[in-house]
A and B are shown apart, each in its own frame.
Chain A
Amino acid sequence: MTVHTTSPQFKQNAARALHDPQLQKALNNVKQGFIDKRRAAADKLPEFEALRDSARDIKNHTLEHLDLYLEAYEEKVKASGGHVHFARNADEAREIILKICRDAGAKTVTKGKSMISEEIGINHHLEANGIRPVETDLGEYIIQLRNEMPSHIIAPAVHLNASQVEQDFRRVHTHLDAKRDLSEPVQLLSEARAVLRERFLAADVGITGANFLVAETGTSIIVTNEGNGDLTQILPRTHIVLASIEKLVPTLEDVSQLLRVLARSATGQEMSVYTTFSTGPRRSGDADGPENYHVVLIDNGRSAMLGTSFEEMLRCIRCGACMNHCPVYHAVGGHAYGWVYPGPMGAVLTPSLIGVDKAGHLPNASTFCGRCESVCPVRIPLPKLMRHWREREFERHLTPASVRSGLGLWGFVAKRPALYRLATRAAMATLGFAGRQRGRFSWLPLAKGWTKYRDFPAPQGETFQARWKRERNGRAA
């Protein structure tokens, strides 16, 4: 069991999103901010395209030998005094984490930003067992107050405007002066900082995700811009790293290559503000660090992707560039996708993890414009993989009957040129005649989806092939 999904209601979710003026306003910022910054960062680095190639190759190599690197990593973590736990699915992961927290006598747990923790729904599980999870990334903190999911993998609260956040803070931070000024974003930030500072000090366990796990050294690495991840993992006595198995990378040298494309693709920064390396618990002589260091390696559907065409998806380094550049994401935002991962990467990954029967809309809701693939730092062919999902759906008869029969008819006609000529000639002559006065139709049977938003231009009447035959037959041959 993973977290609840509304992916089957994608269309309704999308319709609601399109009519939400606050959301539409917030989404406008996505369109403008991320794209220009990534472009500028990529343009400034002449070897950027070559780095993308090597990023792809590093991840491919790792996936090919994933079992070996997982073993090597485990050895190194143990050697540095840490513990490694393998969880096959979300249930196992939750139980492992709960047990570590209980053993630590934890009442409060601080958390750095982690998408895998969303995937396994750890917050609700801890709460249900009397342990209070506190998100320390500003965006995550805000959506935790609102009991929402992230709408973006690197900017979880990107669907919100400052005024909405102000309302939430006033609603929750009731111990503060009701008349305080929160009109500036920086005031919101410093209020969140002040509130979180107390929580950091009270926490018994800190949970972080990992951007990379290094097999060579047993190191886990997180990149953040707020520094909250450092405090989350240094202050409590116990540090738990949650990571899905594809975060493995062979060496520190490999990581340095991947870091160079990650921040540039994500936010257009050359490097994130904080890049934090953790290897094992505090050693004698260390100034700080946790006494206990645990890594929970989570499969939850990944190993089943290995060796299939969806293996390529496991290269993903969660930069968010694909959704930043996606016209569908720009239109409906992240929540419409109905599960943890939105945008093009979600459209490929979600069906793998929760089943294409539930998430079937996602790979279909794409124009295949290809902009995601053109910016993906590890060159995942996202449209191709979405098409593979459509093929699986077609094979399993999950494609809607109307689509199947429409296509079947078109295919039947298109395989028979004589019939095609006859049918298209007659149809176009009729349509052309009917549309000759206005040049367009504002309503057409069978095309209501089209004519709801736009007119349908009338055909000229005679088909190309008919006219060609009439004018040219014999001449060109």
Chain B
Amino acid sequence: MSDLTMSRPEKPRVGLFVTCLVDLMRPSVGFAAVKLLEDAGCIVEAPVQTCCGQPAYNSGDRGTTRDLAQRMIETFQGFDYVVAPSGSCAGMIKKHYPELFEEDPNWRAKADALAVKTYELTSFLVDVLGVTQVDASFEGAVTYHDSCSGLRELGVKSQPRKLLASVKGLTLVEMNDSDVCCGFGGTFAVKYSDISGAIVDAKVKNIEASHAPTLLAGDLGCLMNMAGKLSRDGKPIEVRHVAEILASMTDEPAIGLAKDALRK
């Protein structure tokens, strides 16, 4: 049924870390991730979950962060892999959980064990499963924004591009400074809104200059920031999570658009 090229024969059991933003704002991204993982031969489960603690962590509240991290570790430790449709949330587990328990050997070991098997979605597909193409089509040009945590904490750069290259009808046009922050930064966007506004303004100019009618990225926070700015400025650029395109699940309106504004 799918023409995925696989380098791993077994059926790994994957726990989907759906992330708060996808859970609450755009569940279709989660279902796109499930489809991609299942097409690649994984057994996917989404255990009952809440938040990985990143907002608390970045606000200096280590106590709350540890509580939430322990809960996450217990929820996900039984899976072969943990996969998130977000570089920032996967990075929280992979890079920051071990730091969080630096002085607690017992939890440190558990955090390390979870960290090594946690991946951002596209890097899991490409780097771990060896997927080289997806069964998807999308007519038109897209441009891709590299979200900061995925890029610099996890080295996610070539993986989404490799997969996008296999989407029928799609051309990728690189914007200038695709690897420069969009100004989201979680609570930063609200606490320092003037600065965040200026940074996303610069980002949107680069997006526009690419002339691609569609913008993709792998993190919903950044996507909502850029989509919100594009729509505020009246720019008719559609914004989607990369998983939606890779899974050919574009029935839902793009981010920030109403139901009747569907791309035909």
- Known A-B contacts A420-B50, A424-B24, A462-B27; the reply to A455 vs B232 at CB < 8 A is yes
Contacts of B183 in A (CB 8 A): 327, 367
**Known A15-B194, A464-B18, A476-B44; contact A454-B200, beta-carbon cutoff 8 A:** yes
Instruction: Knowing A387-B60, A440-B231, A455-B228, say if A450 contacts B193 (CB, 8 Å).
Output: yes
Whether the pair B199, A437 counts as a contact (CB closer than 8 A) is no
Q: Using Cβ atoms and an 8 Å threshold, which residues of chain B touch A456?
A: 224, 228
Identify which of residues 96-121 in chain B touch chain A, using a CB-to-CB cut-off of 8 Å: 99
Which chain B residue lies CB-closest to A373? B152
Least CB distance, B46 to chain A, in whole angstroms: 5
The number of chain A residues with a CB under 8 A from chain B is 72
> Which residue of the partner chain A has the closest CB to B199?
A327
Tell whether, in the assembled complex, residue B197 and residue A367 are in contact, meaning their CB atoms are under 8 Å apart. Answer: no
| A369-B185 in contact (CB<8A) | yes
Name which residue of chain B comes closest to A15, CB basis: B194
Asked if A440 and B199 make an inter-chain contact with CB atoms under 8 angstroms apart, the answer reads no
A453 touches B232 (CB 8 A): yes
Stretch at the interface among B132-140, B165-173, B210-218, B253-261: B253-261
Contact across chains for B152 and A370 when beta carbons are under 8 A apart: yes
| Selected contact of A463 from candidates B24, B188, B261, CB within 8 Å | B24
Shortest C-beta distance, A113 to chain B (Å), equals 28
- Chain-B contact segment, one of A92-100, A114-122, A403-411: A403-411
Which residues does chain B contribute within 8 Å of A384, judged by CB atoms? 99
Contact indicator B256/A458 (Cβ below 8 Å): yes
Chain B residues near A15 (CB, 8 Å)?
194
Among A45-53, A82-90, A279-287, A392-400, which stretch is in contact with chain B? A392-400
Question: Contact between B199 and A411 (Cβ–Cβ < 8 Å)?
Answer: no
Across the interface, which residues of B come within 8 angstroms of A413, CB to CB?
Answer: 50
Q: Is the CB of B152 within 8 A of A374?
A: yes
Contact: B199 with A328, CB < 8 Å? Answer: yes
Chain A: CB-nearest residue to B147: A369
Contact with B along A331-343 (1 / 0, CB 8 A): 1100000000000
Q: Which residues of A contact B224 (CB under 8 A)?
A: 456-457
Q: How far is the CA of A105 from the CA of B86 in the complex (A)?
A: 66
- Partner of A403 from the list B22, B99, B187 (CB cut-off 8 Å) is B187
User: Which residues does chain A contribute within 8 Å of B49, judged by CB atoms?
Assistant: 417, 465
Interface membership of B191, Cβ < 8 A? yes
For B30, the closest partner residue in chain A by CB is A464
Contacts of A458 in B (CB 8 A): 256, 258
> A436 at interface (Cβ–Cβ under 8 A)?
yes
B126 in the interface, Cβ–Cβ < 8 Å?
A: no
Which residues does chain A contribute within 8 Å of B157, judged by CB atoms?
none
B45 contact from A393, A449, A476, Cβ within 8 A: A476
Q: Is the CB of A411 within 8 A of B228?
A: no
Contact for B192 among A11, A410, A442, A455, CB less than 8 A = A11
Q: Mark B36-70, 1 if CB is under 8 A from A, else 0.
A: 00000001111011110101111111101001100
Q: A225 contacts which chain B residues (CB < 8 A)?
A: none
A189 within 8 A of B: no
* Chain B residue contacts of A64, Cβ below 8 A: none
- The answer to whether A450 and B255 touch (CB under 8 A), given A14-B195, A370-B152, A459-B26, is no
What string of 1s and 0s marks CB contacts (under 8 Å) between A370-396 and chain B? 110110000000001001011111110
Judging by beta carbons under 8 Å apart, are B184 and A411 in contact? no
Query: Does the CB pair A452–B197 fall under 8 Å?
Result: yes
Closest to A458 in B: B256
Mark contacts of A456-477 with chain B using CB atoms, 8 A cut-off: 1 yes-contact digit, 0 otherwise. Answer: 1111101111011000100011
Known contacts A390-B59, A403-B187, A407-B61; A365/B197 CB under 8 A = no
Check if B245 is an interface residue, CB within 8 A of chain A.
Answer: no
A453 x B200 contact (CB < 8 A): yes
Select one of A366, A436, A457 contacting B25, CB under 8 A.
Answer: A457
The distance from the CB of B172 to the nearest CB of chain A, in whole angstroms, is 22
B149, A370: Cβ atoms under 8 Å?
A: yes
Contact B195 A331 (CB under 8 A): yes
CA distance A392 to B179 in the complex (A): 31
Q: How far is the CA of A476 from the CA of B258 in the complex (A)?
A: 32
Interchain nearest-CB distance for A310 vs B (Å): 15
A433 contacts across to B, CB distance below 8 A: none
A371's partner among B27, B64, B181 (CB-CB below 8 A) is B181
The answer to whether A367 and B45 touch across the interface, beta carbons within 8 angstroms, is no
Are A411 and B68 within 8 A (Cβ)? yes
B-side contacts of A476, CB under 8 Å? 43-45
Contacts of B199 in A (CB 8 A): 327-328, 330-331, 367
Question: Per-residue 0/1 for B1-37: is the Cβ within 8 Å of any A Cβ (1 yes, 0 no)?
Answer: 0000000000000000010001111111011000000
In whole angstroms, how far apart are the Cα atoms of A14 and B232 in the complex? 22
* Complex CA distance for A43 and B62, rounded to whole angstroms: 39
Q: Is A447 an interface residue (CB 8 A)?
A: yes
**Are B152 and A403 touching (Cβ within 8 A)?**
no
- Shortest Cβ distance from residue B90 to the other chain A in the assembled complex, whole angstroms: 14
Q: How far is the CB of A37 from chain B (nearest CB, A)?
A: 16
Contact in complex: B148, A368 (CB < 8 Å): yes
Check A415 for interface membership: any CB of B closer than 8 A. Answer: yes
Say whether B50 contacts A367, CB under 8 Å. no
Assembly CA distance A365 to B196 (angstroms) = 9
For B258, what are the chain A residues with a Cβ–Cβ distance below 8 Å? 436-439, 458
Contact at B60–A460, with CB atoms within 8 Å? no
Cβ-defined contact, A365 with B23, below 8 A: no
- Say yes or no: A391 contacts B60, CB within 8 Å: yes
B59 near A403 with CB under 8 A, answer: yes
Which of B30, B44, B60, B229 is within 8 Å of A399, CB to CB? B60
Which residues on A sit within 8 Å (CB–CB) of B48? Answer: 417, 421, 465
B71 within 8 A of A: yes
A 9-35 binary contact with B (CB < 8 Å = 1; else 0): 001001100100000000000000000
B198 CB within 8 Å of chain A: yes
Q: Is A453 in contact with B196, judged by CB distance below 8 angstroms?
A: yes
Known: A367-B181, A424-B24, A468-B46. A410 touches B148 (CB 8 A): no
Given contacts A410-B56, A440-B256, could you give 20 more A-B pairs where the C-beta distance is less than 8 Å? A18-B198, A332-B195, A367-B148, A367-B186, A370-B153, A371-B181, A374-B152, A391-B61, A392-B60, A410-B55, A414-B51, A420-B50, A420-B51, A427-B24, A440-B257, A455-B228, A457-B228, A468-B46, A476-B45, A477-B45
9 inter-chain pairs at a CB distance below 8 angstroms, sorted by A residue, are A365-B192, A365-B195, A369-B180, A384-B99, A414-B53, A440-B228, A442-B232, A450-B190, A457-B255
Binding site for A on B (CB under 8 A): 18, 22-28, 30-31, 43-46, 48-51, 53, 55-62, 64, 67-68, 71, 99, 148-149, 152-153, 179-181, 183-202, 224-225, 227-229, 231-232, 252-253, 255-259, 261
What are the nearest 8 A-B pairs in CB distance? A367-B185, A453-B197, A390-B60, A454-B228, A394-B60, A449-B193, A464-B27, A439-B258
